[in-house]
Chains A and B, each alone.
Chain A
Amino acid sequence: MFFDEEFETLPRPALEALQFKRLQNVLERVNANVPFYKTSFARAGFSPSDLKCLDDLQGLPFTTKQDMRDSYPYDLFAAPMEDIVRIHASSGTTGKPTVVGYTQKDIATWTDLMARSFVAAGAHKGDIIHNAYGYGLFTGGLGAHYGAERLGASVIPISGGNTKRQIMIMQDFGSTVLTCTPSYSLFMAEEAKAEGVDFKELKLRVGIFGAEPWSEAMRDEIEQKLNISAIDIYGLSEIMGPGVAIECIEAKKGLHIWEDHFIPEIIDPVTGQRLPEGELGELVITTITKQGIPLIRYRTRDITSLTYEPCVCGRTHARIARMSGRSDDMLIIRGVNVFPSQIEAILVGIEGIEPHYMLIVDRQGTMDTLTVQVEVSEALFSDEIKVLQALSRRVEKEIKDMLGVTCTAKLVEPKTIQRSEGKAKRVTDNRKL
């Protein structure tokens, strides 16, 4: 099923021709209207008329999160303020938020791409979409909301929090599609269990989860506990919001990035060099149709890989792999690069371990230490010390074998690791560097 069959299945040569035309156009617009780009292009000795093919894009300078902060709030806008109809911003936990503005056309594009994403995930008109993404400055709630309405589905704009009420409404209103963060869906499953509600009795069919990295093992867990098909969605406010890329329900293998609006690249986060197809690196996106705040080669800091292999669903758009972390969440422990999601994948692979964990990084003398806290579920518990110690050793060994980093596994009581209704906090870094 497609929402916009012509564009979703555009043959590659036509898609690339469209990208080239749109790229030329956006480069001219930002060069003319955004002083930041005019300066950075001039410094790189680049003029938009120099662009001869799509590959020339890799000669352009990057745009970073810091550039956005330096342009706070409106300096990167390419459209006059009177054409901006909506403003969103990132949470700004590490300083000033990053601000994005949308023109009427930007909102229409976002709405269409989000509707495309819903259809790719297996949703359709007639679905009751339980939208538990937060509404507000965060793009999740409103992005999914407008897309669902564009699709013709019924939206429940429940937003995040008040989990007991969420479960009651899901039950009583007959929600068929759930949109929220993956960790919140598991939190809901726990709450439902405590309330004596069985997800198998609900009408829920599909869950569309994003806004934080998760793993394939966590997907299995969610699908089993919520009795649904779990789909990975990707987006970030700087680029648009949710609906930049999504898995198709046919394959559930990589997220189609809507290439008629975004050009993806994968770079080495240290050297900035473009990496070949299939290699893991930082995702860089150029927005080619945006008017409010077009970004050229924006460094997303998300770690993934890219494939152009044809997909069984018939969409011709490239796929990015499930995010394996943030380039800035990457922990360097005794010189080894470790993403929390890699540890999660190992833990969930061990039978009986709950996907709730906390990584504590510290430094003793000059040595980094990693402690992995794991909750002891009833399935794991034994009256014999040696069984529990064997479990700790197994966690330590698997992490050492797979990631090459030595850690200490610490068993903790159930439900003592912080649960989150938004993005889960998985790492405590106590190192004073």
Chain B
Amino acid sequence: MKVEQISIFIENKSGRLAEITRILGEAGINIRALSLADTSDFGILRLIVNDGNLAKSVLKEKGFTVNMTEVVAVEVPDTPGGLSSILQVLDRQQINVEYMYAFVERCAGNAVIIFRFDETDKAISVLKAENFNILEGERLYSM
């Protein structure tokens, strides 16, 4: 039910993002989704890739600080109000979204949103109870 995301610490200086994508490209790793959070000094690059463990090890080898986090991928109707319907459910159950970003590919005509929750397991059961479709990691990595 959960999807593995890798996060990388990046100092705010030129060429870092290019360096990371080059390392991943050379290792044959495909980036499936990404989000970059930044402050004036540093950023955190969050990625969903086809092979998280390999990505982590090649980046660590090059001296990057990397960790893995579990996130949830949810299918969202690609219609006006689609995202809102999910967020309202979460709000009613008082589940906080730490951050979220959209997946590039669509799934059966629906959009896919990646969520990082404060309470991942509770969020999953709430969303399932409301009949939202949660995507398996394996399916996502190969989409």
Residues on A lying within 8 angstroms of B by beta carbon are 376-378, 381-385, 388-389, 410-416
Contacts and interface: CB of A to CB of B under 8 A. Distances in A.
Given A383-B116, A384-B98, A415 B42 contact: no
| B-side interface mostly | strand
B116 A413 contact: no
Contact of B65 (A384, A385, A410, A413): A413
Contact of A378 (B5, B37, B65, B98): B65
B41 interface: yes
A412 B10 CA distance: 8
A390 to B, nearest CB: 12
Nearest to A409: B41
Interface string B60-73: 00011111010000
Contacts of B98: 384
A414 B65 contact: yes
B39 A389 contact: yes
A384 B42 CA distance: 12
B50 interface: no
B27 to A, nearest CB: 19
B63 A382 contact: no
A381 B65 contact: yes
Contacts of A413: 9-11, 63-65
B44 interface: yes
B11 A388 contact: no
Contact of B67 (A381, A385, A411): A381
Contacts of A376: 9, 42, 65
Contacts of B9: 376, 381, 388, 411, 413
Nearest to B46: A383
B11 A383 contact: no
A381 B7 contact: yes
Contacts of B44: 382-385, 388
Interface in B30-78: 37, 39, 41-42, 44, 46, 63-67, 69
B66 A378 contact: yes
Contacts of B10: 413
A416 B37 CA distance: 21
B41 A410 contact: yes
Given A383-B5, A410-B41, A378 B11 contact: no
Contacts of B69: 383
A378 B46 CA distance: 15
29 contacts: A376-B9, A377-B65, A378-B66, A381-B9, A381-B66, A381-B67, A382-B7, A382-B67, A383-B7, A383-B44, A383-B46, A383-B67, A383-B116, A384-B98, A384-B99, A388-B9, A388-B42, A388-B44, A389-B39, A410-B41, A411-B9, A411-B11, A411-B42, A413-B9, A413-B11, A413-B63, A413-B65, A414-B63, A416-B11
Contacts of B63: 413-415
A411 B67 CA distance: 16
